[in-house]
Chains A and B, each alone.
Chain A
Amino acid sequence: MNTTLLDKFRKICLKLGENNKPTYVVMSIAAVKGICRPTFTMMDKKEEPKTKKYTAIREGLTELIAIPVYWLLGEGSAKLANKFLPEELKAKGAKNCMLIGVCAAALVVIPGLCSLAIKPLMDKFYHNRKGTLAEKFDKISSTPEIKSKSVPQPVYTPVSRPSMQSFAGVRAYKSYGMKAGGV
């Protein structure tokens, strides 16, 4: 292997060997998942394009929320431990607290935040987004309303016509249409 590359690898290994923070692995997994999962979803040929796009954005957003939460909770709990633990236990306790913070993020905070934030975000993205194609081509609603002149309607007087019922009592009417000279 190239010497400079080997030196860099040695430095990385030395740093990881001396201080392997629990946040490193979870953040790197979340970062790669945030790229790969939406890509795999978009590559799926069985799904409809609209569904694919929706699912991919949702997956990307989940990981995008996860990365800062892991970092904040991990580092935050380590700092908290540093404040309260005695001097000789600080190094050990801070790292352990970092793991507890990361676990809390995975168990409660990230799923909770996702269920709170993702649905409104997706709704906003899909329904209330300004400048969408639908809005651009919505010519009907943007056309000014023209008021039509009111035209007086003609008044019709009903004409009374004799109906066939008025002959109900006449015998000749009852035999109407019978055979000529009919008995």
Chain B
Amino acid sequence: MINGITKILTSNSLNNITSNTNSQVMMETTLKAIGRPGFILIDKDIDDDTKKYAAAKEFLYQATCLLVYVALVVPVFKKGTFKLAQKLFKPEEIGKFKSSKQYEHYLKLCDTTLNNRQKTIEKEIRGVYKTDENGNKVRRLVRDEYDSSIIDELNKEKPNKFPILKGAVEFGNIVGSVFGLAIFAPQVSHLFIHPALNALGLDSHKNAQTSQDDKHLID
């Protein structure tokens, strides 16, 4: 049992989530979307209609946050900071990568053993072709996607992970998360939540809740 727990705690998949800000934020927002409405529904001091209204509102708010985050913040800030890092830092500090996606793939390769890594590099990529010296159409290899300096790194026992580039991407993700979840998503959810609650037939309870809040102030 202890071995099982240790395996889960030190697993590579969990480590991949931990080292990526986007996955962390998405996981946290999903848990909030479950936990907060759940606790509202458990509360015994509130009447049923208000509970339903508040729980639905909270769930919709967190769901909107998640959607906004995935649709807008992740692509914009991730790509933006990757390009900014390419402009600001020297190629030897951040490596010669074409895109943030390629860098992510490189990081995954770095986490594997040297033997597995070398095998992966020599694999063919499905559906992507190139023409060789004789003019024949042949499949492109993973190796062809990377710059020669990066291939040299991958052939080392401990390849350079280019922490400055990783940090720059994570910095962008943190700034994007803060902007997206604390500033942008509340504005979007404000526009979206009331029509959604109306469609669910829950918006009529708003007045009841507001008057309850007011009662708190007047009492």
Q: Answer yes or no: do A and B interact.
A: yes
Interface residues of A (CB under 8 A from B): 1, 6, 9-10, 12-18, 20, 22, 24-26, 28-29, 32-33, 36-37, 40, 48, 50-51, 54-55, 81, 85-86, 89, 92-93, 95-100, 102-103, 106-108, 110-112, 114-115, 119, 122-123, 126-127
Find the B residue at minimum CB distance from A122: B216
Give the total number of A-B pairs whose CB atoms are below 8 A apart: 147
Q: Is the interface of B mostly helix, strand, loop or mixed?
A: helix
Contact A99 B214 (CB under 8 A): no
**A98 touches which one: B18, B88, B164 (CB < 8 A)?**
B18
Contact B6 A89 (CB under 8 A): yes
A86 to B88, CA, bound (A): 40
Give B11-46 interface residues, CB cut-off 8 Å to A: 11, 14-15, 17-19, 21, 24-25, 27-28, 31-32, 34-36, 38-40, 42-43, 45
Find the A residue at minimum CB distance from B22: A25
**A85 touches which one: B10, B25, B217 (CB < 8 A)?**
B10
Give B25-69 interface residues, CB cut-off 8 Å to A: 25, 27-28, 31-32, 34-36, 38-40, 42-43, 45
CB within 8 Å for A16 and B6 given contacts A1-B88, A25-B24, A36-B186? no
Interface residues of B (CB under 8 A from A): 6, 9-11, 14-15, 17-19, 21, 24-25, 27-28, 31-32, 34-36, 38-40, 42-43, 45, 85, 88-89, 93, 161-168, 170-171, 173-174, 177-178, 181-183, 186-187, 210, 213-214, 216-217, 219
Contact B31 A14 (CB under 8 A): no
**Which residues on B sit within 8 Å (CB–CB) of A13?**
85, 163-168, 170-171
CB within 8 Å for A55 and B6 given contacts A1-B88, A16-B170? no
User: What would be 9 A-B contacts, judged by CB atoms less than 8 Å apart?
Assistant: A14-B164, A20-B21, A22-B18, A26-B28, A99-B17, A106-B32, A112-B39, A115-B40, A123-B216
Contact A89 B19 (CB under 8 A): no
Contact B6 A20 (CB under 8 A): no
A127 to B18, CA, bound (A): 44
A10 to B210, CA, bound (A): 49
Find the A residue at minimum CB distance from B162: A17
Looking at the assembled complex, report how far the CB atom of A168 sits from the nearest CB atom of chain B, in whole angstroms.
61
Contact A14 B24 (CB under 8 A): no
**Which residues on B sit within 8 Å (CB–CB) of A95?**
15, 18-19
CB within 8 Å for A32 and B183 given contacts A50-B214, A106-B31, A111-B38? yes
Ranked 5 nearest A-B pairs via Cβ? A17-B167, A17-B163, A13-B167, A16-B167, A17-B166
Contact B217 A103 (CB under 8 A): no
Find the B residue at minimum CB distance from A24: B174
Q: Is the interface of A mostly helix, strand, loop or mixed?
A: helix
Contact A16 B28 (CB under 8 A): no
**Which residues on A sit within 8 Å (CB–CB) of B25?**
25-26, 29
Contact A12 B167 (CB under 8 A): yes
Contact A51 B213 (CB under 8 A): yes
Contact B217 A51 (CB under 8 A): yes
Contact B182 A29 (CB under 8 A): yes
**A20 touches which one: B161, B167, B217 (CB < 8 A)?**
B167
A36 to B184, CA, bound (A): 10
Contact A37 B186 (CB under 8 A): yes
**Which residues on A sit within 8 Å (CB–CB) of B213?**
51, 54-55
A1 to B89, CA, bound (A): 11
